[in-house]
Amino acid sequence: MLFTGCAEKRQATHLLLGASPWKFAEMPALSTLSPENQKATFSGASDSSSFTIKLKVNFKTQKSARSILNIPGILSVKSFQHNAKDRKYQNYPAYPMPDGSVPVLEATLRLYFPAEPQGKDMPVGIPLGMLEKPEGVHEVVLHFSGVRWTLYVDNELLDNDFALGYPKWGKQNTWEIDSSLVSKAEIFFPGIEPQKVVLETPRISPEIQYWTPAGHNTWVGDVATFYHQGRYHIFYLFDRRGHESKFGKGAHYFEHLSTIDFKTWTEHDAATPIEEQWETFGTGTPFLFDNKLCLSYGLHTTRIYPKEQTMLPLQWDYYNKHGVTGSFRYDTIPGYPAGSTYSISEDGISKFKKTKILFHPCENPSVYTNPEGHLRMLANYGAKGTWESKSIDGGWKSVNEAFPPGGDCTFFFRWGNYDYVIGGFTGFWSKLASASEDKFVDGVKAGLDFYNGMNVPAVTEINDGRFLLAGWIPMAGWGGALTIHEMIQSPEGRIGTKWMEEIIPATQKERSLSIEIKETSTFATGSSSSFLLTFDVEPGTDLNGKMAALLLGANAEDQACEVQISPSVKKAQYGNGQTRNFSGAEKSLREGGSTNAARNYAIDNMAGTDKPFKVRMIVKYVDKFGGSLIDTEIAGQRTMIVFRPNLKVEKLLLRSEKTGIKNVRISALKN
C-alpha cells in the first residue's frame, strides 16, 4: 500500500471530555484555623466518618520542604522539591517547572486496616507545574469519603486514591498550620460531598491515538471494545500509579469512551465505579444479552483478602456439586465478593448499573455471543477453558476445559471463514470456522501472530467488515497510552495490522529530508520531537539486505532506538541504537522475545516486503510519558510499537546495506 495523501489536510480527531470543575457546599466547620489561630483541638470525629478539609494556600518557590498542615498521627500536608529523575509511584516529573525543578504538594493520610495494624500512609499529590499559575494563592480541598481519598486544587480533581482502612481519630485531636503559607483552614465532619459543575461546552482533548487520561499519574490499562448500533465503545481500566493505587492492589475500574464516526469521541461516566473498599476490578468484555448492552468484568478481591474470606469457595462448591455455576447476589451473602459479575447499560450507550450477580468464579471473564448465537465465555485468571450457558446469570458449564489454557486475557472473534483466539500477551490460535473446536492451531509457534507491542489487545468488527485492534502501550507499570490499529486479513486467514487512517494524528506541513539515501545520513528533526516520518524502501534481492532508521536524543547513543528492516528475510525489529553499526539481532515472539514489553523485539514472516514498500513512523514525545512512543507501519501490512523511556528525539540517522531508501519526508505533529 502506498500512502500519498496530504497529512495536513486530514480532519482533526478530538475527544469530548466528561471532566469538569467540582464545588463544595458552604456549611459550618467543626474547627477553623487562621494566622491568628494557628493551632486548635477538636473532638467528635468518628474513625469511619468522611471528612473534608478546605485550605487557602499561598504556594511559593522554595528549596526546602515545608509543613503546610499537620494532624499528628492522622494527616500531614507538605510542599517539597521532588527528584526530577524519579518517576516512581506518582510520576511527578510529568510537569516540571521552566527551570526543570519539580516542586510538589502532597497530602498523606494514615489508614489502618486488619493487614496493617500499625497503619499505612496513603499520599495524594501533584507537581505544582501542572497548575496554570503555580505560585500564589490557591484553594486546596482534601476529601475522604471512606472509599476515595482525593485532592482538589481550585475546584479541579487532580489526584485521588482508593482507601483501604480508616484513620484513627482520638477523642481530642490537635491540628495546626503554617500561617506564612495558609491563610485559612477548615475541617468538616462528616465530609462535604463534592458536586460536579455542569459545563455548557465540554472540555476537549485533541487526538485519541496515544491518548492518556488527564493528569500526571493517569494511564490506560486493559482495554475491552465493542461495536453496537453504529457506535464503537472502548472500556478501559483506569489506572493511577501503574497499579500502585490502594496500597498496590490496583484499584482499577472501567472508564468508557465511544464514537460513531471515529473523529469525534465522547467520554462517558465510569461504567464500573469503585463504591466499596473491597472493590478492584479485572478485565472483561462487553457483550449483548437479551438485547441489552452488558459489560462483564472480574472482581479481583483476592488481591486484598484471602480466598477463604471471599465468595469463591461458595461458588466452586456449587459448581462441583451441580456441574454448572450458580447465581449469587453478592450484596445478600456474607463474605467479600470475588469472581465474575457484569453491569447493564440503561440506555444502550452508557449509564451502566451493576447487577451485583456473581455468575462464575473466574476473575477475568471474557463473555461473548458466538456467530451461532450461543452465549460463551473464555475463563481467565482463576479458571480456564471455554464455557457455555443459556443465561448470563449462572448455569455455566465447561465445554472445553483445556482450551484456552487460562491465566491470560483471551478474546474470541470470527472473521470470514476463520475463528481466532488472542491472548493478552502471547497466545494466539486460529482455525477454519467450519472445523471442530480441537483444531485451533498455535499461531505463535508458527510465527504467524500479529502482536505488535500492544498489551491485552481487544478485537472488534466495525462497519464495512473492518476489524480494529485496541490496547495499551506500557509506560508506567500496568498502564500506558491507548493505541488503535486496523487489521487486515489475507485469503489464507493470515492477519496483519496497519494504521487506522481516521485517527492518525494531525501534522504540520511536510518537508523533504532526502530524495534518496546513498550513504549513511543524519538529519535534525526540527523544532519538534513528535513527528511523522515516511520513506520508501527498495528491497533488492540480497538476503543480507537491510536498512535502519536510528532515532537519537541529545546524548547520541544513550537511549537511542533503531528500527531495522530486513525485507528479503521478512523481518523487522526495534533494537538499541548504535551510530557506527546496525544493532544486533532481537528475538521475535516465536523465538522467545517479549513483544508485550514494548521495548526491544522482532517480528518475522512479514508480507509485502518483496517489492518496493512504504514505511511510516510516528514518534511522540510527551513530558508525561518521560520518553518517546514509536509506532511503525511497514508496507501497510504490519505495525510495531515501542516505548523508549528517557528518549527525546533530536536527530535521525538513516543507513542501508544492499537496500534502497528513497523519498524521506518528515512533518511535526500538531498536538
- C-beta separation of 473 from 481 below 8 A: yes
* pTM for the whole structure: 0.96
CATH superfamily of 511-668: Exo-inulinase; domain 1 (2.60.120.560)
CATH number of 22-196: 1.10.730.10, 2.60.120.200, 3.30.1490.20, 3.30.2000.10?
2.60.120.200
Contact residues for 197 (Cβ-Cβ < 8 A; gap 6+): 20, 21, 22, 23, 155
Q: In this predicted structure, what is the pLDDT of residue 1?
A: 34
β partners of residue 485: 469, 499
Q: State the Cα torsion 213-216-222-227 to the nearest 10°.
A: 10
DSSP state of 543: T
Q: In this predicted structure, what is the pLDDT of residue 660?
A: 96
What's at 14, amino acid-wise? H
**DSSP string spanning 311-367?**
SHHHHHHHHHHHSS---EEGGGSSSB--EEEEEEESSSSS-EEE--EE-BS-SEEEE
The residues spanned by each domain of the chain are 22-196, 219-499, 511-668
Nearest to 282 by CA among 334, 356, 341: 341
Residue with cell 533488492: 540
Cell numbers for 599 = 521495548
Number of other CB atoms surrounding residue 86 within 10 Å: 12
What's at 667, amino acid-wise? S
What's at 500, amino acid-wise? M
- C-beta separation of 619 from 513 below 8 A: no
- Of the chain, the percentage scoring pLDDT greater than 90 comes to 91
What does the alpha-carbon distance between residue 605 and residue 58 come to, in Å, rounded to a whole number?
Answer: 61
373: left (phi over 0), alpha (psi -120 to 50) or beta: left
Residue ranges in the chain modelled with pLDDT below 50: 1-8
CATH tag, 219-499: 2.115.10.20
- C-beta separation of 511 from 17 below 8 A: no
What does the alpha-carbon distance between residue 660 and residue 545 come to, in Å, rounded to a whole number?
Answer: 9
411-433 in b/e burial notation, b at 16+ Cβ within 10 A?
A: bbbebeebbbbbbbbebbbbbee
Q: In this predicted structure, what is the pLDDT of residue 10?
A: 64
Cell numbers for 568 = 528479503
Q: In this predicted structure, what is the pLDDT of residue 148?
A: 98
What does the alpha-carbon distance between residue 591 and residue 4 come to, in Å, rounded to a whole number?
Answer: 35
Number of other CB atoms surrounding residue 137 within 10 Å: 12
What does the alpha-carbon distance between residue 7 and residue 211 come to, in Å, rounded to a whole number?
Answer: 19
What's at 444, amino acid-wise? V
- C-beta separation of 50 from 226 below 8 A: no
Chain-centre distance for alpha carbon 204 = 19
Cell numbers for 648 = 527525546
Q: In this predicted structure, what is the pLDDT of residue 111?
A: 97
Number of other CB atoms surrounding residue 648 within 10 Å: 22
- C-beta separation of 526 from 668 below 8 A: yes
Count of all residues that appear for the chain in the document: 671
By CB neighbour count within 10 A (0-12 exposed, 13-18 middle, 19+ buried), where does 444 fall? middle
Which helix or strand (DSSP H or E) is residue 245 part of? helix 245-248
**E runs forming strands in 128-168:** 136-144, 148-153, 156-162
What does the alpha-carbon distance between residue 121 and residue 163 come to, in Å, rounded to a whole number?
Answer: 10
**DSSP string spanning 579-607?**
SSSPPPP--BTTTT--GGGTSSEEE-S-S
Cell numbers for 328 = 449469587
DSSP state of 121: E
- C-beta separation of 140 from 150 below 8 A: no
Query: What are the respective helix, strand and coil percentages of the chain, to the nearest 5?
Result: 5, 50, 45
Domains 22-196 and 511-668 share a fold: yes
β partners of residue 539: none
Cell numbers for 605 = 514472516
Chain-centre distance for alpha carbon 574 = 22
Cis geometry, peptide bond prior to residue 190 (ω within 30 degrees of 0): yes
DSSP state of 98: T
What does the alpha-carbon distance between residue 270 and residue 494 come to, in Å, rounded to a whole number?
Answer: 36
Distance (Å) of CA 546 to CA 537, 541, 558, 572, 658: 10, 11, 23, 9, 7
The order of strands in the sheet holding 364-369 is 364-369, 375-380, 386-389, 397-400
Chain-centre distance for alpha carbon 311 = 29
